[in-house]
């Protein structure tokens, strides 16, 4: 559990760190543009979705309305057809010849004579029934109908004569009107039988309804499609997928036939005279294709998308222009801040942009002028302070050496001193002169740092031995054990005079520090070679560098023994090492183990040699000072 918690915490930390790095990379213009573009694109996308939804809903509503219109269209056609059918049956019922035929009451005679009346009527269906409503004979175009089925459907006791009815006969739907035949007046005459005429609901009727309703049409009976304007394949799919659509009235049902979606509705084709006992009730199915609606939606989508892209491009251009207007003065302000951070106090800003930006620019300009004035004052004060500190250090040390020389010279002028005492005093005078010479040499070399080097291909070990000899002859190097390790015949392009002075200064400081240690004063110098660099490592047994001095150990006029003093040795050594492309580091700082390392990259030394061979001025590699 602890591991899981730690992993989760590390993941969160990594996520926050990544987010912070991303925010650091984003400029203000980008930060301003991204939300505006996201907002613009989001509003455009939302508008597109709203319009699409409205169009789809309106399309579905229009399709549903078209379906109802289609059903009403068929009902109107059916009503007109029924009226014509009722008049035609009434005219046939009034024919004297037909009445005369029916008075024979002979089925064979009626069957033979009835065919003439069927042909004259021009109807698709013609039937004659006796007084009891039993079928005598029936005629129809196409395949002959089953006699018993027709007889059963036309039983007069089950419907009201005179009103057209829909009958399903052998998977065919007929609109039939029946009229009674009377001998004499209807009110007082004798009932001779019935005449029935009708027309089928076939492909012709389906096409008429389809053209009037601008939709696909199908007529079904008990789940079976009797006739339709669909292809045979789609008709089979309609039977397989229609379900209740083909059996009970259904509104606005979505169905897929082939690769196209349809919105379908169905309505029962019944009349008030429909026999209630019959289960096979014809049904009208109207299917409205989504193709036109889909095309409309696609056109709307294309227009909206095109307008959205135009709005996005125009809006992006406007946003970029506005953001540049807002951010350009800020970028100028940032450039001014960078220039100010680099010490350029003469960088002036243009007062452009909004009022707030102009006010900020004016405030920055006032700050720049004030900082420039303050910088000049600080430079003057620092220059005076440096001169004063330098003069104080030099005067103190020179006064010390001069006092020693004066006192020893006065002692030497005495009459009663021996020759050995005179030689000892002479040595002290020489030491004071040597100290003054070292001080003046350090000051002279300090003023010459940064000038051209004079590199030669020399032995580094020989340069180190010369520096060690100079330290051992110095009073500070007496009684200090100096041990050398790793000296070899290594040669490199160096300025032996300057680099030897740097090693000398470090060794001299190490000897002075070793004498302040607890045990015997020892100093160890090790020459370390590697593929990339040459290192001169100096270790002393002194008390270590004090904490207040550690951070400014390489600054001028700072020594290890106190916070202020001559302190030019490490400064000169650091600058000489930097002129050779390297540097000096205080690697360890513990009592009895203080380590200074001069690091000289081989690539920089080779560059010095190449510059000498080409007789050009060498390129200096400056390494930032430590501390």
By the 8 A CB rule, do 513 and 560 touch?
yes
What does the alpha-carbon distance between residue 94 and residue 154 come to, in Å, rounded to a whole number?
A: 20
- Choice between 68 and 121, residue whose per-residue pLDDT is larger: 121
Q: What is the pLDDT of residue 431?
A: 73
Number of residues that this document lists for the chain? 627
**How confident is the model over 384-405, as a mean pLDDT?**
68
pLDDT at 43 over 90: no
pLDDT at 241 over 70: yes
pLDDT at 4 over 90: no
Which is it for the CA torsion 298, 302, 308, 311, positive or negative? negative
- Choice between 272 and 377, residue whose per-residue pLDDT is larger: 377
Q: Is 123 helix (H, G, I), strand (E, B) or coil?
A: coil
For 341-380, how does the pLDDT look when each residue is reduced to its tens digit (9 = 90+)? 766 767 766 666 667 667 777 777 777 778 778 877 776 7
Q: What is the pLDDT of residue 356?
A: 67
- Span between the terminal Cα atoms of the chain, in Å: 44
What does the alpha-carbon distance between residue 220 and residue 268 come to, in Å, rounded to a whole number?
A: 9
Listing DSSP states for 144-203 in one string gives: PPPHHHHHHHT-GGGS-TTS-EEEEETTEEEEEEEEEEEES-TTTSEEEEEEEEEEE--H
Lowest mean pLDDT among 19-33, 285-299, 597-611: 19-33
What does the alpha-carbon distance between residue 267 and residue 311 come to, in Å, rounded to a whole number?
A: 48
**How confident is the model over 446-475, as a mean pLDDT?**
79
pLDDT at 598 over 50: yes
Lowest mean pLDDT among 226-235, 443-452, 583-592: 443-452
Predicted confidence band of residue 207 (pLDDT cuts 50, 70, 90): confident
pLDDT at 538 over 70: yes
pLDDT at 570 over 90: no
The token duo for 468 is: 């060690």
Q: What is the pLDDT of residue 279?
A: 47
| Cβ neighbours for 55, distance < 8 A, ≥ 6 positions apart | 296, 297, 300
For 139-186, how does the pLDDT look when each residue is reduced to its tens digit (9 = 90+)? 888 888 888 878 877 775 445 566 677 777 777 888 888 888 888 777
Predicted confidence band of residue 90 (pLDDT cuts 50, 70, 90): confident
Q: What is the pLDDT of residue 142?
A: 81
What does the alpha-carbon distance between residue 363 and residue 342 come to, in Å, rounded to a whole number?
A: 19
By the 8 A CB rule, do 18 and 26 touch?
no
Rounded to the nearest 10 degrees, how much is the dihedral formed by the CA atoms of 600, 604, 609, 613?
-170
By the 8 A CB rule, do 576 and 449 touch?
yes
Q: What is the pLDDT of residue 392?
A: 64
- Choice between 350 and 463, residue whose per-residue pLDDT is larger: 463
| Cβ neighbours for 12, distance < 8 A, ≥ 6 positions apart | none
Pairing between β-strand 224-228 and β-strand 250-257 as defined by DSSP bridges: unpaired
Lowest mean pLDDT among 32-41, 171-180, 539-548: 32-41
For 483-492, how does the pLDDT look when each residue is reduced to its tens digit (9 = 90+)? 999 888 889 9
Q: What is the pLDDT of residue 454?
A: 80
**How confident is the model over 570-575, as a mean pLDDT?**
83
Predicted confidence band of residue 19 (pLDDT cuts 50, 70, 90): low
For 192-204, how does the pLDDT look when each residue is reduced to its tens digit (9 = 90+)? 888 888 888 888 8
Q: What is the pLDDT of residue 620?
A: 44
Task: Give the mean pLDDT of the chain.
Answer: 76
C-alpha to C-alpha distances, 345 to 333, 369, 530, nearest whole angstrom:
13, 7, 45
Percent of the chain with pLDDT over 90: 6
Q: What is the pLDDT of residue 244?
A: 76
pLDDT at 271 over 60: no
pLDDT at 562 over 50: no
């Amino acid at each position: 559990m602890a591991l899981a918690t730690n992993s989760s915490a590390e993941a969160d930390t990594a996520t926050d760190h990544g987010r912070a790095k991303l925010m650091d990379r984003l400029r203000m213009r980008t930060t301003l543009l991204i939300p505006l573009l996201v907002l613009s694109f989001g509003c455009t996308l939302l508008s597109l979705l709203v319009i699409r939804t409205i169009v789809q809903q309106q399309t579905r509503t229009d399709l549903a309305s078209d379906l109802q219109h289609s059903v009403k269209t068929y009902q109107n056609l059916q009503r007109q057809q029924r009226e014509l059918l009722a008049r035609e049956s009434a005219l046939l019922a009034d024919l004297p010849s037909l009445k005369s035929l029916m008075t024979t009451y002979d089925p064979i005679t009626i069957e033979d004579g009835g065919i003439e009346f069927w042909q004259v009527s021009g109807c698709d269906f013609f039937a004659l029934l006796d007084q009891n409503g039993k079928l005598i004979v029936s005629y129809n175009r196409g395949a002959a109908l089953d006699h018993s089925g027709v007889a059963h459907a036309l039983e007069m006791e089950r419907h009201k004569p005179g009103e057209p009815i829909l009958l399903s006969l052998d998977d065919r739907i007929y609109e039939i009107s029946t009229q009674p035949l009377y001998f004499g007046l209807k009110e007082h005459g004798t009932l001779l039988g019935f005449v029935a005429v009708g027309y089928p609901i076939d492909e012709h009727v389906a096409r008429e309804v389809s053209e009037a309703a601008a939709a696909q049409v199908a007529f079904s009976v008990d789940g079976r499609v009797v006739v339709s304007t669909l292809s045979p394949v789609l008709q089979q799919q309609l039977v397989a997928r229609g379900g209740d659509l083909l059996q009970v009235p259904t509104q606005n049902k979505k169905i897929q036939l082939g690769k196209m979606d349809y919105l379908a509705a169905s309505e029962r084709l019944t009349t008030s005279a429909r026999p209630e006992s019959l289960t096979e009730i014809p049904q009208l199915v109207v299917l409205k294709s989504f193709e036109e609606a889909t095309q409309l939606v696609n056109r709307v989508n294309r227009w909206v998308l095109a307008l959205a892209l135009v709005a996005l491009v125009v809006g992006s251009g406007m946003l970029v222009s506005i953001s540049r207007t807002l951010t350009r003065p800020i970028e100028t302000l940032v450039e001014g801040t960078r220039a100010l951070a680099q010490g350029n106090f003469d960088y002036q800003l243009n007062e452009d942009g909004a009022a707030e930006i102009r006010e900020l620019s004016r405030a920055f300009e006032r700050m720049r002028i004030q900082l420039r004035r303050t910088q000049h004052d600080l430079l003057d004060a620092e220059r005076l302070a440096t001169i004063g500190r330098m003069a104080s250090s030099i005067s103190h040390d020179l006064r010390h050496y001069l006092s020693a020389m004066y006192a020893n010279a006065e002692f030497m002028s005495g009459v009663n001193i021996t020759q050995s005492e005179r030689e000892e005093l002479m040595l002290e005078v020489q030491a004071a002169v040597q100290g003054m010479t070292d001080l003046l040499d350090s000051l002279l070399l300090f003023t010459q740092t940064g000038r051209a080097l004079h590199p030669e291909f020399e032995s580094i070990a020989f340069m180190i031995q010369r520096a060690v000899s100079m330290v051992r002859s110095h009073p500070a190097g007496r009684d200090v054990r100096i041990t050398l390790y790793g000296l070899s015949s290594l040669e490199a392009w160096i300025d032996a005079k300057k680099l030897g002075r740097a090693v000398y200064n470090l060794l001299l400081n190490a000897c002075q520090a070793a004498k302040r240690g607890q045990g015997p004063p020892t100093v160890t110098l090790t020459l370390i070679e590697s593929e990339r660099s040459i290192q001169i490592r100096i270790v002393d047994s002194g008390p270590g560098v004090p904490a207040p001095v550690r951070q400014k150990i390489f600054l001028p006029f700072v020594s290890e023994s106190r916070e202020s003093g001559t302190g030019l040795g490490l400064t000169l050594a650091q600058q000489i090492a930097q002129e050779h492309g390297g540097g000096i580091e205080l690697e360890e700082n513990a009592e009895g183990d203080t380590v200074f390392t001069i690091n000289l990259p081989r690539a920089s030394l080779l560059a010095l040699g190449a510059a000498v061979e080409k007789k050009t001025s060498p390129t200096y590699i400056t390494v930032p000072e430590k501390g």
